[in-house]
Amino acid sequence: MSGETFYVTPIVIAGRAHFILWGTGEDVDDRVELAGGRVAHFDGDSSARSFATARGLDLAPFDAELAFDASELEKWLSGRRSSVPFVDALNFWNLGTDIASSLGQTWSPRSDEIYDKLFAADVPWAVGVPEYVPTWSPRQLKRLRAIISEAYRIVRGALLD
């Protein structure tokens, strides 16, 4: 796809590292690369890069900002952590959306108020403040947990098949 760049993206979920190819570009929707109708995932960076090269994908250099580790999110979802890991929650919300869309599934949770809080906590300068620590109403926290649980299910299902 013209104008699309792919990133080898490590994801640690359920204690195991997986590598996917996440694509983005100015004129395209973010997506993950598929193989045989499933998310293409690999045990290592080099195998992901070899696959991308064989497909002629434009690969970007490694970006540590795109490494996802679900361990704190898993603790929060299981009740072993009380505070919301907002960066991880935002990452998995976005990743779950991209994976679902890439697979032709419909999953697009609508909760701008909650998403905006996560976004502001992750990149406060983008909303004009030096720091933002979200506070949650019980209703928002329940909705956030439901959204992130579904995002986690989507990501886990795509990688642990």
- Retrieve residue 13's tokens: 């979920």
> In total, how many domains does the chain have?
1
Q: Which domain holds residue 70?
A: 5-159
Alpha-carbon distances of 66 from 29, 79, 128, 150, rounded to whole Å: 17, 26, 23, 20
Which burial class, exposed, middle or buried, applies to 57 when counting CB atoms under 10 A from its CB (0-12, 13-18, 19+)?
middle
pTM of the model: 0.91
Contact by Cβ (8 Å): 85, 76 = yes
Strand 38-39 to 34-35 pairing: antiparallel
Task: From first to last of the 161 residues of the chain, give the pLDDT tens digit.
Answer: 458 999 999 999 999 999 999 999 887 789 999 999 999 999 999 999 999 999 999 999 988 888 899 999 999 999 999 899 999 999 999 999 999 999 999 887 878 899 999 999 999 999 999 999 999 999 999 999 999 999 999 999 999 86
Contact by Cβ (8 Å): 11, 38 = no
Strands (E), the chain: 5-13, 16-25, 28-32, 34-35, 38-39, 41-42, 68-69
